[in-house]
Amino acid sequence: MTVVIGFEGSANKIGIGIIRDGEVLSNPRRTYITPPGQGFLPSETARHHRAVVLTVLQEALQQAGLTPADIDCVAYTKGPGMGAPLLTLALVARTVAQLWGRPLVGVNHCIGHVEMGRLITQAHNPTVLYVSGGNTQVIAYSERRYRIFGETIDIAVGNCLDRFARVIKISNDPSPGYNIEQMAKRGSRYVELPYTVKGMDVSFSGILSFIEETLFSMLVEITERAMAHCGSQEVLIVGGVGCNLRLQEMMGVMCKERGAKLFATDERFCIDNGAMIAQAGWEMFRSGQVTELHDSWITQRYRTDEVEVTWRD
């Protein structure tokens, strides 16, 4: 059996998870929460991660009932993400790998979400909608690459929701998007907003008022187009925004009309976490990929389709 520990810290969440052959052994996480109306700055977020990383590491090992000697590989988020938080966790992962004498694997954050979603839902070969604070992409696998069929041409959907929350002083605890969703459930009036789909891409920068219905309709539309192009009958929603129940409901209606199946996870696995990095690292390590120490840098702009997917046919 192969045991991989994963370090994630690309934004305001720090997580360390341990995977053993598809089984999640532990997955503790901490979130840096700022006051309402404020976002999180890279330097302050990195300071938060440095303050708690050793505690989270100890929790991950204790919850899994393992010691460093039981770990076969150390995985970390190489990118994309915020520079200072990424660097903090990369340095910790590099240090741990050297202290424990274990190989290191740098993981693309987006692929971590996809592989975690595939593991938890057992979706076979889905069209993937990846929606988070920093990314919005429609993805399908083909010829050893996760191909991007469509994406945002300006800001990510999660970033749009976060900015909206800051404007009207919605609490950041536990997350702006969650609190927007709860408020939207109490609403009864739909306000017309710009609906900007450009081919397979979307634009969110002009929408910072009543949010959810318009944003999610655009995402459902481009996901359906990708499904039609690929002949896919499965949709997998991943990323922090992916736990939004209204988005899942709207996507579910589209899938039902097409005779397709929807897969989604809850906040344990759709929000940034260490286990998703461990799972992608497990796949990479088992297929022979290892990151040499001199190559273990971070890449803030690390696209999903740059990675050769050596672990899938």
Residue stretches of the annotated binding site for substrate? 130-134, 162, 177, 181, 244
* Separation CA 173–CA 222 (nearest Å): 31
At residue 20, the 3 state secondary structure works out as: strand
Can you say which residues are annotated as belonging to the binding site? 109, 113, 130-134, 162, 177, 181, 244, 272
Can you say which residues are annotated as belonging to the binding site for a divalent metal cation? 109, 113, 130, 272
* CB distance 124 to 249 below 8 Å: no
- DSSP symbol at 50: H
Comparing CA positions, the residue from 237, 234, 240, 235 lying closest to residue 268 is 240
Comparing CA positions, the residue from 222, 216, 231, 257 lying closest to residue 126 is 231
CB atoms within 10 A of CB 267: 14
Listed in sequence order, the residues at least 6 apart from 238 whose beta carbon sits closer than 8 Å to its beta carbon are 113, 114, 116, 117, 128, 129, 130, 131, 265, 270
At residue 195, the 3 state secondary structure works out as: coil
At residue 307, the 3 state secondary structure works out as: coil
- Strands 73-79 and 3-8 turn out to be parallel
